[in-house]
Amino acid sequence: MNLKFSILNFQFSILFSFCLVLLTGCEAEPPGHIKDPGHLVYLGFGSNREVQCSRCHGEEGTGGMLGPKLRGIAQRKGESYVRETIRNGKGEGDNKMPAFAQDLTEEQIEQVIRFLSTWQDTLAE
């Protein structure tokens, strides 16, 4: 009985490991309905998958546990402020937004700014 249980346990472990490799080895594809290159970078589908604004600021730009709301940021603070914040980061300590000047091209930064400029702040402050 113990041998039978051990064999089943071993088979389950092999199957689980195989499934895990399949799942983690596949990269997510960008949503087909999103064509804006700045939106794709924002969601983490740019050339550098480590840059994912939505991780901290939320998929809809409404803010998250680490980052503030970005809806209407270009209108409130101006594109220059947004550009400098993306390039150089902002804040201190654990809640610091990292600088992305080394991770994004100037073209990608401008694409993100153009995308953020389309997001109106329709939600209450």
Query: What pLDDT score does 68 carry?
Result: 93
Residue 13 lies in a domain: no
Taking only the tens of pLDDT, the chain with its 125 residues reads 565 656 555 555 565 555 444 444 455 787 888 999 999 999 999 888 889 999 999 999 999 889 999 999 999 999 999 999 999 999 888 779 999 999 999 999 999 999 999 998 875 54
Its sign, for the CA torsion 55, 29, 45, 39, is negative
Q: Does this model's pTM top 0.85?
A: no
Residue 9 lies in a domain: no
Query: What pLDDT score does 13 carry?
Result: 58
Residue 91 lies in a domain: yes
Query: What pLDDT score does 93 carry?
Result: 81
Question: What residue numbers bound the domain in which 58 lies?
Answer: 31-118
CATH code assigned at 82: 1.10.760.10
Q: How far is CA 99 from CA 35, 46, 88, 96, 121, in A?
A: 25, 16, 4, 9, 24
Query: What pLDDT score does 18 carry?
Result: 52
Q: Give the total number of structural domains in the chain.
A: 1
3-state secondary structure of 67: coil
Residue 4 lies in a domain: no
Residue 125 lies in a domain: no
Structure tokens at 84: 């400098």
